[in-house]
Structure formats: C-alpha cells, structure tokens
Amino acid sequence: MGSEHLHITLIQPDIVWEDKTANLAQYETTIAGITGPKHVVVLPEMFSTGFSMAPERLAEPMDGHSVRWMADMAVKYRCILTGSLIIEDDGKYYNRMLWVQPNGEIGIYDKRHLFAYGSEDQHYTPGERRTIAQVNGWRINLQVCYDLRFPVWARNTGDDYDVLLYVANWPEQRSLAWKTLLQARAIENQSYVVGVNRIGTDAKNNNYTGDSSVFGPLGELLWQQTNAPACHTVTLEKEVLQKVRTTLPFLNDADKFLLL
C-alpha cells in the first residue's frame, strides 16, 4: 500500500572543501534538527568533499566510513538518506549516488554524464544504467548534476517514475541553466522535480548560489532557496501528479526512446 504523500527534506549546505569530518558533522547536526515527518533526506553531489578531481586521495570503498555514516544516520533518524560520494569499486572511481534505507539496503546510481569541461571524465568511470528507487509506493529517478543537461536520459517513457531527483554542485555562473532545465524536466516528464545544490565557494574559486528547487508536474515552482544554507521539507502529493497525467495525457504521445 503506497502513501499519498511523500515528505522530502532538501539540505543545501556550504561544503567544506575536502574535509569529510567537518561536513559529516555539519550534516548530522542539521538532520538531528529536522522536525516533522521525513521519508527522504537529500544531500548534494559529493557532499562529503565538494566536487573534487582527486579520487585517488579521497575515494572510499562501499564499506568505508562515509557509507557507514549514511547507514547509521538512516537508522538513527528513521529516514532514507541520499546524496553522492566519491567511491572506489573494483579498481574504478565513481561519482556514486547512494540510496540508503533504514533497513540496511543500499541502492546505487553511478553518474552517467561526466563533466568533461571540469575533467571529471579523466578521473571517474561513467554509469551505465538508470536507477529508479522506491519508497512508500513512490518511484524516484536518481540523477546527478550534469545529467540534467541530457533530457533523453531522464525521459519518462510513459509512467516510469513520479519524482526526478537531482543532486548537484552546480556553479553560480550557470544557475540560469540549472533553474530552467529543472523546470523543463518537470514539464516534459509531467513529474515532480527536486534539485539539491550547494552554496559557498570551493578551492577552485567556483561560487555556488544553491537555488535548490522543487517543481510540480506542470512546472510550477513549489520552493526555492538562493544564497543561504537551507534545510526544508516539502510534501509531494500523489493526487496532484495523477490528476495532471490523467487530464493532460501528453506522455502518451511521446517518442519511444530505447535507453540501453
């Protein structure tokens, strides 16, 4: 039996560059302060380090400290915790989004589109498949940052998912693209879209304004935060989603892409 409501908490932090201890401590304090219901708590891309191209020094295995920390938080605060980390697996490095459940199960999505402009493709291995996670009858398509620019990868080819979730380190100079494409993905896929980004400045002097956002299935802006840390819970409604897809059945007319 699914739930008609999904409570998603977006955490928009100022990430301390390559300081895992400081970042995890910051998140634990923030998560501990969440009041009210929370099904899913979302941290940004590379939440423990910032967008670093030093996986040789920073990567952890799946049984490493940061993954264990996520599992502990999921149990302690009775929620699903998600976000991406620098992971080493079978001798390769991944920008890996984890979906950590309180029962110990961990889903993974490896970022498909690596940011060549920032040399990410020189350090990491791309993912090969989409991951659609499930919670209380809701289906959530997990995506990471640069994936946002590639609509075919996110395409809802009928009724694949209910929420499109992006975690990112998306810099200020391209914030217009971030906000515009999140809204476009919501409209074209008749889906809720949640984008979680960071604020602050990294060691490469990239500035981040956050602009973490939630859009409804008609592209309506439900929440957005700019230039300030945030911890905000939004409640998504299944009835709204179903009404949009029933009264405006545009997905039925879409091209049938085959995603390999």
* Three-state DSSP class for residue 153: helix
DSSP 33-81: T--S--SEEE--TTTTT-S-S-HHHH-B-TTSHHHHHHHHHHHHTTSEE
Backbone angles phi, psi at 187, to 5 degrees: -65, -50
Q: β-pairing, 207-215 with 221-226?
A: antiparallel
Under 8 Å between Cβ of 171 and 51: no
* Three-state DSSP class for residue 119: coil
Tokens of 26: 């910051």
Q: State how far the Cα of 11 lies from the Cα of 153, in Å rounded to an integer.
A: 25
> C-alpha distances in angstroms, 71 versus 35, 89, 180?
20, 18, 34
Under 8 Å between Cβ of 51 and 45: yes
Which residues does the annotation mark as catalytic? 45, 111, 145
**Type of residue found at 78:** R
Q: State how far the Cα of 73 lies from the Cα of 71, in Å rounded to an integer.
A: 5
